[in-house]
Structure 1
Protein backbone atom coordinates (compact mmCIF):
# COMPACT_ATOMS: atom_id res chain seq x y z
CA UNK A 1 0.00 0.00 0.00
CA UNK A 2 1.28 3.48 -0.86
CA UNK A 3 2.06 5.44 2.29
CA UNK A 4 -0.33 8.17 3.36
CA UNK A 5 2.63 10.56 3.30
CA UNK A 6 3.29 9.70 -0.36
CA UNK A 7 -0.36 10.09 -1.37
CA UNK A 8 -0.78 13.39 0.51
CA UNK A 9 2.46 14.75 -0.93
CA UNK A 10 1.41 13.68 -4.42
CA UNK A 11 -1.89 15.56 -4.06
CA UNK A 12 -0.06 18.71 -2.95
CA UNK A 13 2.56 18.47 -5.71
CA UNK A 14 -0.11 17.89 -8.37
CA UNK A 15 -2.05 20.90 -7.09
CA UNK A 16 1.05 23.09 -7.06
CA UNK A 17 1.99 22.05 -10.61
CA UNK A 18 -1.55 22.83 -11.78
CA UNK A 19 -1.35 26.29 -10.18
CA UNK A 20 2.06 26.81 -11.83
CA UNK A 21 0.61 25.95 -15.23
CA UNK A 22 -2.38 28.26 -14.75
CA UNK A 23 -0.11 31.08 -13.56
CA UNK A 24 2.09 30.70 -16.65
CA UNK A 25 -1.01 30.80 -18.86
CA UNK A 26 -2.28 33.96 -17.17
CA UNK A 27 1.15 35.60 -17.41
CA UNK A 28 1.25 34.72 -21.12
CA UNK A 29 -2.20 36.27 -21.70
CA UNK A 30 -1.12 39.34 -19.73
CA UNK A 31 2.07 39.72 -21.79
CA UNK A 32 0.13 39.33 -25.04
CA UNK A 33 -2.34 42.01 -23.96
CA UNK A 34 0.37 44.45 -22.89
CA UNK A 35 2.36 43.91 -26.08
CA UNK A 36 -0.78 43.65 -28.26
CA UNK A 37 0.68 40.46 -29.71
CA UNK A 38 -1.95 37.79 -30.24
CA UNK A 39 0.08 35.78 -32.73
CA UNK A 40 0.85 32.23 -31.80
CA UNK A 41 4.21 32.03 -33.49
CA UNK A 42 2.84 29.44 -35.91
CA UNK A 43 3.28 30.12 -39.59
CA UNK A 44 -0.37 29.40 -40.42
CA UNK A 45 -2.46 31.35 -37.91
CA UNK A 46 -6.20 31.32 -38.48
CA UNK A 47 -7.75 34.77 -38.70
CA UNK A 48 -10.06 34.08 -35.77
CA UNK A 49 -7.04 33.37 -33.56
CA UNK A 50 -5.92 37.01 -33.76
CA UNK A 51 -9.28 38.85 -33.78
CA UNK A 52 -10.50 39.03 -30.20
CA UNK A 53 -13.65 41.12 -29.54
CA UNK A 54 -12.77 44.37 -27.72
CA UNK A 55 -15.04 43.56 -24.77
CA UNK A 56 -13.13 40.31 -24.19
CA UNK A 57 -9.79 42.10 -24.48
CA UNK A 58 -10.95 44.68 -21.91
CA UNK A 59 -12.15 41.98 -19.52
CA UNK A 60 -8.88 40.07 -19.86
CA UNK A 61 -6.86 43.23 -19.24
CA UNK A 62 -8.71 43.81 -15.97
CA UNK A 63 -8.50 40.15 -14.91
CA UNK A 64 -4.75 39.89 -15.60
CA UNK A 65 -3.83 43.42 -14.43
CA UNK A 66 -2.34 44.04 -17.86
CA UNK A 67 -0.40 47.22 -17.12
CA UNK A 68 3.29 47.92 -16.74
CA UNK A 69 6.15 45.71 -17.84
CA UNK A 70 5.67 42.11 -18.85
CA UNK A 71 7.75 39.02 -19.24
CA UNK A 72 8.95 37.91 -22.66
CA UNK A 73 6.21 36.02 -24.55
CA UNK A 74 8.72 33.60 -26.07
CA UNK A 75 10.12 32.70 -22.65
CA UNK A 76 6.63 32.31 -21.19
CA UNK A 77 5.45 29.99 -23.96
CA UNK A 78 8.76 28.11 -23.96
CA UNK A 79 8.49 27.54 -20.22
CA UNK A 80 4.87 26.41 -20.59
CA UNK A 81 5.81 24.02 -23.40
CA UNK A 82 8.64 22.58 -21.32
CA UNK A 83 6.22 21.94 -18.47
CA UNK A 84 3.69 20.22 -20.70
CA UNK A 85 6.36 17.88 -22.06
CA UNK A 86 7.75 16.93 -18.64
CA UNK A 87 5.24 17.28 -15.83
CA UNK A 88 2.41 15.02 -17.09
CA UNK A 89 4.80 12.05 -17.36
CA UNK A 90 6.07 12.62 -13.85
CA UNK A 91 2.52 12.85 -12.51
CA UNK A 92 1.47 9.73 -14.43
CA UNK A 93 4.29 7.65 -12.93
CA UNK A 94 3.77 9.09 -9.44
CA UNK A 95 0.01 8.50 -9.57
CA UNK A 96 0.38 4.99 -10.97
CA UNK A 97 2.61 4.06 -8.03
CA UNK A 98 0.01 5.42 -5.61
CA UNK A 99 -2.78 3.51 -7.36
CA UNK A 100 -0.72 0.32 -7.40
CA UNK A 101 -0.15 0.78 -3.69
CA UNK A 102 3.61 0.51 -3.96
CA UNK A 103 5.41 3.78 -3.41
CA UNK A 104 9.09 3.75 -2.48
CA UNK A 105 10.13 4.76 1.02
CA UNK A 106 11.83 7.80 -0.49
CA UNK A 107 8.86 8.60 -2.76
CA UNK A 108 7.46 11.60 -0.88
CA UNK A 109 10.93 13.18 -0.85
CA UNK A 110 11.24 12.62 -4.61
CA UNK A 111 7.84 14.26 -5.16
CA UNK A 112 8.82 17.30 -3.09
CA UNK A 113 12.23 17.52 -4.77
CA UNK A 114 10.59 17.36 -8.20
CA UNK A 115 8.34 20.31 -7.38
CA UNK A 116 11.32 22.30 -6.12
CA UNK A 117 13.34 21.56 -9.24
CA UNK A 118 10.42 22.55 -11.50
CA UNK A 119 9.86 25.84 -9.68
CA UNK A 120 13.57 26.69 -9.88
CA UNK A 121 13.55 25.69 -13.56
CA UNK A 122 10.56 27.97 -14.22
CA UNK A 123 12.27 30.93 -12.55
CA UNK A 124 15.58 30.34 -14.28
CA UNK A 125 13.83 29.93 -17.64
CA UNK A 126 11.65 33.05 -17.30
CA UNK A 127 14.43 35.30 -16.05
CA UNK A 128 17.20 33.92 -18.31
CA UNK A 129 19.42 32.90 -15.41
CA UNK A 130 22.94 31.97 -16.39
CA UNK A 131 23.64 28.30 -16.85
CA UNK A 132 24.03 25.82 -15.26
CA UNK A 133 21.03 26.68 -13.03
CA UNK A 134 18.39 25.94 -15.66
CA UNK A 135 20.11 22.77 -16.85
CA UNK A 136 20.69 21.48 -13.31
CA UNK A 137 17.10 22.16 -12.25
CA UNK A 138 15.79 20.40 -15.38
CA UNK A 139 18.11 17.46 -14.78
CA UNK A 140 17.03 17.25 -11.13
CA UNK A 141 13.38 16.99 -12.11
CA UNK A 142 14.21 14.47 -14.80
CA UNK A 143 16.18 12.38 -12.29
CA UNK A 144 13.17 12.32 -9.94
CA UNK A 145 10.93 11.13 -12.78
CA UNK A 146 13.47 8.51 -13.85
CA UNK A 147 13.92 7.22 -10.29
CA UNK A 148 10.16 6.73 -9.85
CA UNK A 149 9.84 5.17 -13.30
CA UNK A 150 12.65 2.69 -12.66
CA UNK A 151 11.14 1.85 -9.27
CA UNK A 152 7.78 1.24 -10.97
CA UNK A 153 9.37 -1.09 -13.52
CA UNK A 154 11.44 -3.06 -11.04
CA UNK A 155 9.00 -3.25 -8.14
CA UNK A 156 7.74 -6.76 -7.56
CA UNK A 157 4.96 -7.75 -5.17
Structure 2
Protein backbone atom coordinates (compact mmCIF):
# COMPACT_ATOMS: atom_id res chain seq x y z
CA UNK A 1 0.00 0.00 0.00
CA UNK A 2 2.87 2.40 0.74
CA UNK A 3 3.75 2.89 -2.93
CA UNK A 4 0.19 3.65 -3.94
CA UNK A 5 -0.95 5.64 -0.90
CA UNK A 6 -0.64 9.04 -2.56
CA UNK A 7 -2.12 8.14 -5.93
CA UNK A 8 -5.59 8.68 -7.32
CA UNK A 9 -5.99 4.92 -7.52
CA UNK A 10 -6.24 4.98 -3.73
CA UNK A 11 -9.92 5.87 -3.14
CA UNK A 12 -9.14 7.34 0.27
CA UNK A 13 -6.50 9.67 -1.17
CA UNK A 14 -8.87 10.71 -3.97
CA UNK A 15 -11.55 11.40 -1.36
CA UNK A 16 -9.11 13.49 0.68
CA UNK A 17 -8.09 15.46 -2.41
CA UNK A 18 -11.73 16.28 -3.14
CA UNK A 19 -12.37 17.70 0.34
CA UNK A 20 -8.98 19.40 0.55
CA UNK A 21 -9.68 20.95 -2.85
CA UNK A 22 -13.06 22.25 -1.68
CA UNK A 23 -11.67 23.98 1.41
CA UNK A 24 -8.60 25.31 -0.42
CA UNK A 25 -10.78 26.77 -3.19
CA UNK A 26 -13.08 28.28 -0.56
CA UNK A 27 -10.04 29.88 1.05
CA UNK A 28 -8.92 31.27 -2.32
CA UNK A 29 -12.41 32.65 -2.95
CA UNK A 30 -12.08 34.80 0.16
CA UNK A 31 -9.49 36.93 -1.69
CA UNK A 32 -12.00 37.56 -4.46
CA UNK A 33 -14.67 38.41 -1.91
CA UNK A 34 -12.30 40.88 -0.25
CA UNK A 35 -11.64 42.53 -3.62
CA UNK A 36 -15.37 42.66 -4.33
CA UNK A 37 -16.05 44.48 -1.08
CA UNK A 38 -13.10 46.82 -1.62
CA UNK A 39 -14.51 47.84 -4.99
CA UNK A 40 -18.12 47.97 -3.81
CA UNK A 41 -17.29 50.08 -0.73
CA UNK A 42 -14.49 52.05 -2.41
CA UNK A 43 -12.31 51.14 0.56
CA UNK A 44 -8.74 50.60 -0.57
CA UNK A 45 -5.71 50.13 1.68
CA UNK A 46 -3.07 51.85 -0.39
CA UNK A 47 -2.61 55.26 -1.92
CA UNK A 48 -1.86 53.76 -5.36
CA UNK A 49 -5.19 51.90 -5.37
CA UNK A 50 -6.97 55.15 -4.48
CA UNK A 51 -5.10 56.93 -7.28
CA UNK A 52 -6.05 54.20 -9.77
CA UNK A 53 -9.72 54.63 -8.81
CA UNK A 54 -9.41 58.39 -9.25
CA UNK A 55 -7.87 57.94 -12.71
CA UNK A 56 -10.65 55.53 -13.76
CA UNK A 57 -13.65 57.28 -12.26
CA UNK A 58 -12.62 60.69 -10.99
CA UNK A 59 -13.59 59.68 -7.43
CA UNK A 60 -11.21 60.95 -4.79
CA UNK A 61 -10.96 58.49 -1.89
CA UNK A 62 -8.45 58.13 0.91
CA UNK A 63 -6.89 54.85 2.02
CA UNK A 64 -8.90 53.09 4.69
CA UNK A 65 -8.13 50.06 6.83
CA UNK A 66 -11.28 49.84 8.92
CA UNK A 67 -14.20 49.03 6.65
CA UNK A 68 -16.36 46.60 8.68
CA UNK A 69 -17.44 44.52 5.66
CA UNK A 70 -13.88 44.07 4.48
CA UNK A 71 -12.56 43.33 7.95
CA UNK A 72 -15.21 40.63 8.39
CA UNK A 73 -14.16 38.93 5.14
CA UNK A 74 -10.48 39.32 6.00
CA UNK A 75 -11.09 37.83 9.45
CA UNK A 76 -12.80 34.84 7.87
CA UNK A 77 -9.96 34.48 5.35
CA UNK A 78 -7.33 34.69 8.09
CA UNK A 79 -9.15 32.01 10.07
CA UNK A 80 -9.23 29.79 6.97
CA UNK A 81 -5.47 30.16 6.55
CA UNK A 82 -4.94 29.19 10.19
CA UNK A 83 -7.11 26.08 9.87
CA UNK A 84 -7.21 24.84 6.27
CA UNK A 85 -3.43 24.69 5.79
CA UNK A 86 -2.89 22.51 8.90
CA UNK A 87 -5.82 20.29 7.83
CA UNK A 88 -4.28 19.71 4.41
CA UNK A 89 -0.79 19.03 5.74
CA UNK A 90 -1.91 16.82 8.62
CA UNK A 91 -4.42 15.13 6.31
CA UNK A 92 -1.63 14.10 3.95
CA UNK A 93 0.31 12.62 6.85
CA UNK A 94 -2.87 10.97 8.13
CA UNK A 95 -3.44 9.26 4.76
CA UNK A 96 0.05 7.77 5.08
CA UNK A 97 -0.96 6.01 8.33
CA UNK A 98 -3.41 3.83 6.39
CA UNK A 99 -6.42 4.84 8.52
CA UNK A 100 -9.80 3.16 8.58
CA UNK A 101 -11.41 4.47 5.37
CA UNK A 102 -14.80 5.19 6.93
CA UNK A 103 -13.31 7.18 9.82
CA UNK A 104 -10.97 9.02 7.50
CA UNK A 105 -13.80 10.01 5.16
CA UNK A 106 -15.81 11.23 8.14
CA UNK A 107 -12.84 13.36 9.24
CA UNK A 108 -12.61 14.95 5.79
CA UNK A 109 -16.35 15.51 5.42
CA UNK A 110 -16.86 16.90 8.90
CA UNK A 111 -13.93 19.29 8.53
CA UNK A 112 -15.24 20.56 5.19
CA UNK A 113 -18.79 21.01 6.43
CA UNK A 114 -17.51 22.73 9.58
CA UNK A 115 -15.37 25.17 7.56
CA UNK A 116 -18.21 25.98 5.17
CA UNK A 117 -20.55 26.53 8.11
CA UNK A 118 -17.90 28.65 9.86
CA UNK A 119 -17.66 30.90 6.81
CA UNK A 120 -21.43 31.33 6.58
CA UNK A 121 -21.59 32.07 10.30
CA UNK A 122 -18.74 34.57 10.00
CA UNK A 123 -19.96 36.38 6.89
CA UNK A 124 -23.70 36.45 7.51
CA UNK A 125 -23.09 36.90 10.60
CA UNK A 126 -24.90 34.29 12.68
CA UNK A 127 -25.06 34.80 16.44
CA UNK A 128 -22.36 33.24 18.55
CA UNK A 129 -21.57 30.51 19.42
CA UNK A 130 -22.37 29.48 15.81
CA UNK A 131 -19.03 30.52 14.39
CA UNK A 132 -17.12 29.21 17.40
CA UNK A 133 -18.80 25.80 17.10
CA UNK A 134 -17.94 25.60 13.40
CA UNK A 135 -14.33 26.44 14.18
CA UNK A 136 -14.16 24.02 17.13
CA UNK A 137 -15.54 21.09 15.16
CA UNK A 138 -12.99 21.58 12.38
CA UNK A 139 -10.20 22.04 14.91
CA UNK A 140 -11.14 18.80 16.70
CA UNK A 141 -11.04 16.93 13.38
CA UNK A 142 -7.55 18.22 12.59
CA UNK A 143 -6.41 17.49 16.13
CA UNK A 144 -7.80 13.95 15.89
CA UNK A 145 -5.92 13.29 12.67
CA UNK A 146 -2.76 14.82 14.15
CA UNK A 147 -2.94 12.59 17.21
CA UNK A 148 -3.38 9.57 14.93
CA UNK A 149 -0.28 10.57 12.97
CA UNK A 150 1.81 11.01 16.13
CA UNK A 151 0.60 7.71 17.58
CA UNK A 152 1.37 5.90 14.33
CA UNK A 153 4.88 7.38 14.45
CA UNK A 154 5.44 6.14 17.99
CA UNK A 155 4.39 2.55 17.25
Normalising by structure 1, report the TM-score.
Answer: 0.76
Unpaired stretches in structure 2, ≥5 consecutive residues:
58-67
Partner residue of 1:14? 20
Matches of residues 2-151 of structure 1 in structure 2 within 5 Å? Answer: 2=5, 4-39=10-45, 47-48=47-48, 50-51=49-50, 53-54=52-53, 72-98=69-95, 100-105=96-101, 106-151=103-148
Q: CA deviation at 1:127?
A: 1.0
Runs of 4+ in 1 over 3 A off after TM superposition: 50-54
For this pair of structures, how many residues does the alignment match? Answer: 137
Normalising by structure 2, report the TM-score.
Answer: 0.77
The 2-side partners of 1:152 and 1:57 are apart by 53
User: Which structure has greater helix proportion?
Assistant: 2
Q: Which of the pair has more CA radius of gyration?
A: 2
Kept in 2, the 8 Å contact 1:125–1:134? The answer is yes
